[in-house]
Structure 1
């Protein structure tokens, strides 16, 4: 035995089987022999023997239950009873190892749970009995350590599953091998990761087949990749395919020689921050052996940063069976206006539908009853016969025309009928009445509309019309204030809204925000602006060549901003004496392209384009510079000289002459400047203007400073009203076109501002432009990018980073929460403080301390640090990191900040690595003893946890840097990239404008305690800002809902959707909306209000068709547990006399055709049909529609032809974009 080799002299080893009474008896004797004082007894016995298994109850046989209980329960009892006399003598302890499953049950663990529940009960009873003997009974309840220990291997799990399946009864195998059993297995596994609401939405997605199109597209893409023969799964590496893992290495080595594949939005990507890594696409079916092997191989390569791994679903031998879809409507319309209202003057009051019974009624027979004969035979029962005849007429499915006066209030009467039903049944009644309206109309006419209902509807309609733009009879649907356009948005887009809203609301709830406040927070508009950002052009570094408001050359132009509202022909640029349009060039005078750009500016100026033109020269700003040697400095000094002597306009004309001397392909030279100056100003000593001691040095340093401060990108730069042009727009010809286009586009913005009174003639137009929300102090493409990555900080837990062995097994959300819980900020302020975490490589040679300077200068920032070391942390290479962490943990925020600023210098890190004492770098006010104690006692767990967070959550490589601001990840930064103080100020400004102030204000209103407020601002900001940008939410303010609305209240204590529907119950929208709301009722917890928006004084039948909306909240099954052949639309008990036509109301992108029917679906006459009319449609194609426009000008092209195809067949079809509409299909 291994223990005998390791034991000390005091350790005695004996092996026993706890299920064998003889071995237990021998063990007792063995113990007695080796006790020094047998009469003193045994101090303790620990019952730790145990076995476990898994399997659902129907699969486990009784022998398995006996085996597990014999060890876990009866073994504990046997051993305890045998040693109890010795324990009592010593007044010792009995320690029983139970489990958390002794207090809670778990699926597939019934045998184990039963045994551990028994151990708990046995221990509790024994504790009571042994109390008088002084014996303590202790129960230890371990958690789940299977994942951490690997005690159950993959092979053992597979072997157990095989055994369970073989031993299962045949009837169980039949049930568990069905479609329904697989479906429930999927839900069971998914429920371990999803909330109840998310699980309902997943059921709905499966019912909708919401992802079938994506899976099918992957299947088609795989077919175009030419799968290798006899491969059920394969790799594609930049166009080359293989299913042999041995070939993967060679294909990866040659991948750079082939073009990278195009990746789609729906692709499942596994990647680290290595944009140049080759892309490996795995086509495989999840759950197969090949998928498991290939997936593990590729994930290991991803973790090493070797590849970007993309998974696409692929089935080598797909089923030929079709699936039934839902989310569409089916209409059975009455053809040729068969159902009409009849004029009272033309129709006598004795038709079939008449509710008045007269003696001369010509209709004598109804449903086989001869009422003329009955009246004769039973004259004393005339009133009863009237009621019988009325009932029979109204219960028939055959339709009859209504009188015009009966139609007038039909919409209000339908609403009254719906609202008279119990609230739980109201939606069902609305669905029944609206979808079968031609049959129900006659009975609805007898409904009485009370005055309170009518008045409330009419008052609400004033709000519908004035605020929501809904006329009487119109419909609207709002989910959490988001408008759902029933004409445009299909059920799939509604599903996306539900899923997105569920994520946000459950995230807010997990942050312990009360349900009542969640909807207030949802209404905050925190989405970043998608407008082009601009920098402030009110800077002295800009030389303005002209001024439209003051220059005499524009004096004939009108100066009133009201001229913008004067009608003109399309495309005409208004000439108004206001600086509406400002064009600034930031150039290096010696750059090759500067010549063309100056010529563009001169063209604008000479052609009287209403454009104020400015120049910024970026030249050498060193103190000792000679313009006689540097052409850029020479041109700037010459410009300054002429400007002082004349004006900027004359200076601009002269430098244009200088550039005219530059030959194509050449750069500006000093000789060009001197020759023009000598010609224009022969009396001037050139060296006094251009030389080293020149007094004409204005804006030499300021120009470069403005360029660097604004961060507008590589030179040259052109800006329109402070907005930099894209690089591809900087071609001279393109720049002219784009600038003119921007002038036209911006005019509409000014027109609106003038019309609304936001801009008047007395205001400074440039100030007005620069006060717009898109104007920022600096342009940083990383900060201002519209595509942003956010961390999910919505999880709440009590995990921290000080135990790496535990941290490493947390999921991504839990790791985010653990890092946030462990963060100690250098600046702790109240709720107005925003939160920024700087990820730093403290070992990098380019380590910059500007972030600490920023934290000192800003009152709106909390600064924390996350370490991403370049190498595995150890005590020898982590001096700086441990010192920073110790300072944050033990010192005041200000002292810690000053100390870390000192540590961040490269020479400090080098000194520490050479053995310098860390306390030599302390700053005044520090508690040195406390700091040193913490520094020397620190374990490396926090560094390992930080490194794991950067790798697993952020997908960064070791040593990469980034900034995390309120959950937004900005990075990874390039090795030489600097994120300076101006960038922090820009980031702070953007957050305050878009989200910070609004969230802060709302958190203050909620009354969150100060300790939580700052963290809550950060987490709420990350959650809300991560959502896709959408329309603004509408805040309702209805007149009343007591009499005119269906109301369903949500379950208390749970997050709920606020759903408002506005509908006329006698319209097509009601036919669709009622079943939709019924499905939503089954899916989500919602506060539902359905307001009636009725039309009055109808003169025609509002609905002339029967309708069914095909939608189910969950997949349905047959009695044999196979998938039900549905969902389908059924029309039952239809009238036989009208002529019908069958129409499908599908999402706009569906192209469907009838593939199976015996009948002419355009002319259905049920009287001539023997059985039923069945029709089957097939979704053949999905239609993609779009618009074509020039990426530079934004205008539609005059005409365009392009081809569509695949890599293997590039010319399948061609299409033409028409010049008039610029649309293609």
Structure 2
């Protein structure tokens, strides 16, 4: 066969999808099939389908696992026992599908067919084996048991020799037991033992060595008390013992006695006790599905064959040993032989002639030039295009002849050629709802996870009454690009620049043409352009060890400046001691600045800053920087002294000096640096200047203002850092050049596209576009630390949820406005940190926020006293009744201050103090224009401590289920993003502003815009307009943004819409589909062979809409 193209050689490709089902056997007793059948078998024995169904439901939502148990327990037992294996599978699918939507049920069926949950059950087997081995049991009633077990052990060892690859073998319960409970201190095999333990589980837990460890994948009952002892039930759904244990455990969990977990395991020998439906799949070997096998066959040998038998009419193939069902040039000889058995010899001779003939298979080179286009035409015109593509690319040698003789439609060819001007010929791409998928690495299981993720989101959104068209738009939307990195807007008079490349005389000879930045240079060569392209500003406390190390960088900066390095250098100075005073005063800047400054006189940092200001004002900026270098030289003398001590003493001194300015640098070193700097230029003795400056209030206020500026920026948490055009970096020496090289491509890109010209102030442009006024490393994360998100959908859509009852606070006169950002404050009512966080949240709203609302969830320990319960009740009455009042925020701020004084500073609160407490609340309410009647009527008489305690327990359950946290935590949840732990000294209302700004820009704004565009009244005309409130839309945005933040998908996308799809594309429309597949495929490549069966799976089980543009290679 002569060919110069890539289609000229014969490659047999078999892509095998191995799924549970009946595999048809080869008909005929002695027929020898020619096709290859491949089965990849797991290393572990089979697992029950019933238990796998529970695991798949738990993956969808944890509560579904427990709902499935209840559904199965209420099923008719007679129906289950009378079914066949096939009938049992249908029953399992029926009960499981009743808990899911139609699309999720279809995907659930395929996942169960693939046995994708089987590895999880093998993990439970291994944990069950560890549980049994931790408590070896001996049955003393049977003296022969030990001998019997020894013999069984020997048999098992012999078996393992032959089956050395077997893993995850089924554990065997002692004495034929199928269920047991592990409490960490004992194993219980009978319900009676469990009931005795449940009478006093806490006392038994104290005597135990250690409670059993729980993992993220464990099934923990939703009514469990997080503080109760742990009990793990090992057993299989369907057994009587499991049902007995489960019923008692559920009741105990509701009573708060136990933390109940289930690990599904069907022990060896219990298959008969679980019933037919519970044992389906457990006794069979497990075949792994979703794997492809490629066989590339090429025979390089020549064989001499005697064809004389053919001439005599004797066939080379025996019909009894040959599989005649295989098609040969359009003929199926098995059917012909059935119809004409008397012509067997002639028919087989004709078949052998067809097999040995090469005339019809011979293709000339010119017949292959349009083969790719002809293949695309065959696929597009097929009744089932995806199936046709799969048949062609997996049976190409048998169809290449007919393909090459097809008459080609010029429209298809022209469109393919036009598309290939925008995408390389033969290139394959695939995107799921706009997100690109890595074709090389994707497999069936990963694709199913992605599909399941999208369908789960669509199901959640549909329950929120979002129209299908809007759901598809939400799932296909691309978040804003993060190429515009978050920068700190540090523009202020507190920045002291050493140079200015655009104005200083030393740079006048440099060229000002900005396009030179695009010119190629040798590696390491700098571009000398008279433009402030790079602003390197160091933020530091000059008296701390970190600041002194940064001052060593100042020496490097001075050297680079003297050598005309093309960068603008600057510095911002602050006093860590002064900022500490601000934090202690609760962020009261005015109080911190006006306090007695007797201690400030000893503050080395403030002294350095004041001297820096004086030198800059009287002797110039360069002399001021020289002063900082001299201070650093004094620090070097200290380090030289350290070198004379022992190594251990050095470590001790360094540890002690980390947070102590006095140990790191002393006053006389600073005074010496000042004298050294000023002496050559001063007209009077520098010592007299020092005495005068100590009494000079002007520079002292400047120093305080500079520290306050750093505190507002939030950069004091970094101790010392480098701002490269606003981007935050470490302050070490090697970082400067790296930061410059990272920033260079961003500037080059904007210069190339004309976004930056010679007249553009680059710093103003960058900080105006992506600058923020505060920095918090917990909020502004980098690539190394990923933010934590949780989905709030289950909490909102669930039957009983604490989030449903939350009433929100708003900034004054904005209560009726839609709020895309929702801050949920988790406040421990018994901690000072929690009250501090609550007050910062109230001050955040007082400051004014048009885009955010604030909700509060109170929590506390079990021993919450009466004053805390009264405060929680008063807070809830205020938010639910008076949230629209103008001064409600002022009242709540006063209430928090009063409660903080009563709870933490005053004498212990007693029941006799209740009237005075209520009188104070009413007095504050009247002063702020709120009626006191609601408080007087609800707090003393109808007030129920048990009701509030119950609410606190519900919040504790929410914290544990959603966050895995205890009840005594303080945290912030913003549209699903979790900020924890909270530093009460540094987390201020400004950080809530920052959190609002960052989340709105990067995650929420595009969702908000889509929701706002929907005309809800036209879509749901029967819905009461009063329900379509700002709270309704704010809740939708909160749930949607939190759920979409959990998506694990590629951030890269492609513009498939620019490719024409009128003649050469497969378009499958589904108006109700929430999943859309965009693909560009060359059907005659390995990528095409891989994608075609995957697309068929999606078409069958997910019913997506598809747009597949064919992109074959051109000869």
Superposition TM-score tier, normalisation by shorter sequence: 0.5 to 0.7
Counterparts of 1:252 and 1:574 in 2: how far apart (Å)? 71
Which residue does the alignment assign to 2:1102?
1084
Which residue does the alignment assign to 2:493?
540
Structure label with greater radius of gyration: 1
Alignment of 1:1085-1124 (within 5 A): 1085-1096=1103-1114, 1098=1115
- Go from structure 1 to structure 2 and tell me whether the alpha carbon gap of 1:420 and 1:1070 turns closer, same or farther (over 3 Å shift): same
Q: Report SS of the residue matched to 1:851.
A: helix
The one of 603, 615, 633 aligned to 2:572? 615
Report deviation, 1:688: 3.6
Counterparts of 1:278 and 1:404 in 2: how far apart (Å)? 79
Q: Report SS of the residue matched to 1:714.
A: helix
Which residue does the alignment assign to 1:1223?
none
Counterparts of 1:295 and 1:190 in 2: how far apart (Å)? 20
- Go from structure 1 to structure 2 and tell me whether the alpha carbon gap of 1:997 and 1:429 turns closer, same or farther (over 3 Å shift): closer
Report deviation, 1:541: 2.3
Counterparts of 2:619 and 2:483 in 1: how far apart (Å)? 43
The alignment yields a C-alpha RMSD, in angstroms, of 5.2
Alignment of 1:678-689 (within 5 A): 678-679=675-676, 680-681=678-679, 683-684=685-686, 685-689=688-692
Q: Report SS of the residue matched to 1:417.
A: helix
Q: Establish whether residue 332 from structure 1 lines up as the match of residue 295 from structure 2.
A: yes
Q: Establish whether residue 739 from structure 1 lines up as the match of residue 700 from structure 2.
A: no
Report deviation, 1:637: 1.9
The one of 1044, 1047, 1062 aligned to 1:1027? 1047
Counterparts of 2:255 and 2:501 in 1: how far apart (Å)? 60
- Go from structure 1 to structure 2 and tell me whether the alpha carbon gap of 1:532 and 1:871 turns closer, same or farther (over 3 Å shift): farther
Which residue does the alignment assign to 1:413?
374
- Go from structure 1 to structure 2 and tell me whether the alpha carbon gap of 1:442 and 1:768 turns closer, same or farther (over 3 Å shift): same
Alignment of 1:1167-1186 (within 5 A): none
Which residue does the alignment assign to 2:930?
926
Report deviation, 1:400: 1.5
Counterparts of 2:507 and 2:527 in 1: how far apart (Å)? 13
Counterparts of 1:426 and 1:697 in 2: how far apart (Å)? 80
- Go from structure 1 to structure 2 and tell me whether the alpha carbon gap of 1:446 and 1:884 turns closer, same or farther (over 3 Å shift): same
Aligned residues: 850
Deviations 1:551-570 (A, max 9, x none): 44555655443333232333
Which residue does the alignment assign to 2:1011?
1003
- Work out whether residues 233 and 285 of structure 1, in 8 Å CA contact, stay in contact via their aligned partners in 2: no
Report deviation, 1:438: 1.0
The one of 865, 872, 883 aligned to 1:881? 872
Report deviation, 1:512: 0.9
Q: Report SS of the residue matched to 1:904.
A: helix
Q: Report SS of the residue matched to 2:361.
A: coil
Counterparts of 1:863 and 1:448 in 2: how far apart (Å)? 68
Counterparts of 1:1040 and 1:713 in 2: how far apart (Å)? 55
Which residue does the alignment assign to 1:128?
none
Counterparts of 2:466 and 2:91 in 1: how far apart (Å)? 33
Q: Report SS of the residue matched to 1:781.
A: coil
Report deviation, 1:954: 2.1
Q: Report SS of the residue matched to 1:671.
A: helix
Which residue does the alignment assign to 2:396?
437
- Go from structure 1 to structure 2 and tell me whether the alpha carbon gap of 1:555 and 1:313 turns closer, same or farther (over 3 Å shift): farther
Report deviation, 1:977: 5.0
Q: Report SS of the residue matched to 2:706.
A: helix
Report deviation, 1:396: 9.1
Q: Which runs of 5+ in 1 are unaligned?
A: 1-106, 108-146, 235-239, 340-364, 369-388, 798-809, 1099-1225
Q: Which runs of 5+ in 2 are unaligned?
A: 1-49, 51-62, 138-170, 174-182, 189-200, 270-281, 303-327, 332-349, 579-592, 640-652, 654-662, 903-912, 1018-1027
Report deviation, 1:202: 3.3
- Work out whether residues 267 and 311 of structure 1, in 8 Å CA contact, stay in contact via their aligned partners in 2: yes
Counterparts of 2:248 and 2:611 in 1: how far apart (Å)? 68
Report deviation, 1:691: 1.4
Report deviation, 1:646: 1.3
Report deviation, 1:216: 6.5
- Work out whether residues 1069 and 1105 of structure 2, in 8 Å CA contact, stay in contact via their aligned partners in 1: yes
Which residue does the alignment assign to 1:487?
440
Counterparts of 2:425 and 2:976 in 1: how far apart (Å)? 46
- Go from structure 1 to structure 2 and tell me whether the alpha carbon gap of 1:274 and 1:703 turns closer, same or farther (over 3 Å shift): farther
Which residue does the alignment assign to 2:816?
829
Q: Report SS of the residue matched to 1:960.
A: coil
Alignment of 1:504-543 (within 5 A): 504-526=457-479, 529=482, 533-543=486-496
Q: Report SS of the residue matched to 1:699.
A: helix
Counterparts of 2:185 and 2:763 in 1: how far apart (Å)? 62
Which residue does the alignment assign to 2:857?
866
Report deviation, 1:515: 0.8
Report deviation, 1:498: 0.9
- Work out whether residues 689 and 695 of structure 1, in 8 Å CA contact, stay in contact via their aligned partners in 2: no
- Work out whether residues 223 and 253 of structure 2, in 8 Å CA contact, stay in contact via their aligned partners in 1: no
The one of 847, 850, 863 aligned to 2:840? 850
Q: Report SS of the residue matched to 2:407.
A: coil
Report deviation, 1:871: 4.6
Q: Report SS of the residue matched to 1:758.
A: coil
- Work out whether residues 688 and 694 of structure 1, in 8 Å CA contact, stay in contact via their aligned partners in 2: no
Q: Report SS of the residue matched to 1:585.
A: strand
Deviations 1:46-84 (A, max 9, x none): xxxxxxxxxxxxxxxxxxxxxxxxxxxxxxxxxxxxxxx
Alignment of 1:363-512 (within 5 A): 400-422=361-383, 425-459=384-418, 461=419, 465-466=421-422, 470-512=423-465
The one of 617, 630, 633 aligned to 2:603? 630
Deviations 1:88-108 (A, max 9, x none): xxxxxxxxxxxxxxxxxxx9x
Counterparts of 2:436 and 2:379 in 1: how far apart (Å)? 24
Counterparts of 1:478 and 1:1047 in 2: how far apart (Å)? 15
- Go from structure 1 to structure 2 and tell me whether the alpha carbon gap of 1:548 and 1:874 turns closer, same or farther (over 3 Å shift): same
Q: Report SS of the residue matched to 2:673.
A: helix
Report deviation, 1:755: 1.9
Deviations 1:98-139 (A, max 9, x none): xxxxxxxxx9xxxxxxxxxxxxxxxxxxxxxxxxxxxxxxxx
- Work out whether residues 366 and 393 of structure 1, in 8 Å CA contact, stay in contact via their aligned partners in 2: yes
Counterparts of 1:566 and 1:628 in 2: how far apart (Å)? 54
Q: Establish whether residue 197 from structure 1 lines up as the match of residue 150 from structure 2.
A: no
TM-score, length of structure 1 as denominator length: 0.60
The one of 511, 520, 524 aligned to 1:567? 520
Which residue does the alignment assign to 2:827?
840
Deviations 1:811-847 (A, max 9, x none): 6xx5266336x65767523335533333334554452
The one of 1035, 1044, 1064 aligned to 1:1015? 1035
- Work out whether residues 976 and 1045 of structure 2, in 8 Å CA contact, stay in contact via their aligned partners in 1: no
Q: Report SS of the residue matched to 1:520.
A: helix
Q: Which has the higher helix share?
A: 2
- Work out whether residues 873 and 943 of structure 1, in 8 Å CA contact, stay in contact via their aligned partners in 2: no
- Work out whether residues 830 and 1013 of structure 1, in 8 Å CA contact, stay in contact via their aligned partners in 2: no
- Work out whether residues 219 and 263 of structure 2, in 8 Å CA contact, stay in contact via their aligned partners in 1: yes
Report deviation, 1:535: 1.8
Counterparts of 2:758 and 2:773 in 1: how far apart (Å)? 25
Report deviation, 1:675: 2.6
Counterparts of 2:244 and 2:566 in 1: how far apart (Å)? 66
Alignment of 1:28-43 (within 5 A): none
Report deviation, 1:598: 0.7
- Go from structure 1 to structure 2 and tell me whether the alpha carbon gap of 1:787 and 1:598 turns closer, same or farther (over 3 Å shift): same
Q: Report SS of the residue matched to 2:292.
A: strand
- Work out whether residues 836 and 966 of structure 1, in 8 Å CA contact, stay in contact via their aligned partners in 2: yes
TM-score, length of structure 2 as denominator length: 0.65
- Go from structure 1 to structure 2 and tell me whether the alpha carbon gap of 1:395 and 1:881 turns closer, same or farther (over 3 Å shift): farther
The one of 707, 722, 742 aligned to 2:710? 707
Counterparts of 1:767 and 1:295 in 2: how far apart (Å)? 67
Q: Establish whether residue 647 from structure 1 lines up as the match of residue 620 from structure 2.
A: yes
- Go from structure 1 to structure 2 and tell me whether the alpha carbon gap of 1:1006 and 1:938 turns closer, same or farther (over 3 Å shift): farther
- Go from structure 1 to structure 2 and tell me whether the alpha carbon gap of 1:409 and 1:964 turns closer, same or farther (over 3 Å shift): same
Counterparts of 2:1094 and 2:754 in 1: how far apart (Å)? 44
Alignment of 1:91-102 (within 5 A): none
Report deviation, 1:477: 2.2
Deviations 1:661-704 (A, max 9, x none): 23125521111122333444362314444413354335311222
- Go from structure 1 to structure 2 and tell me whether the alpha carbon gap of 1:550 and 1:751 turns closer, same or farther (over 3 Å shift): same
Which residue does the alignment assign to 2:39?
none
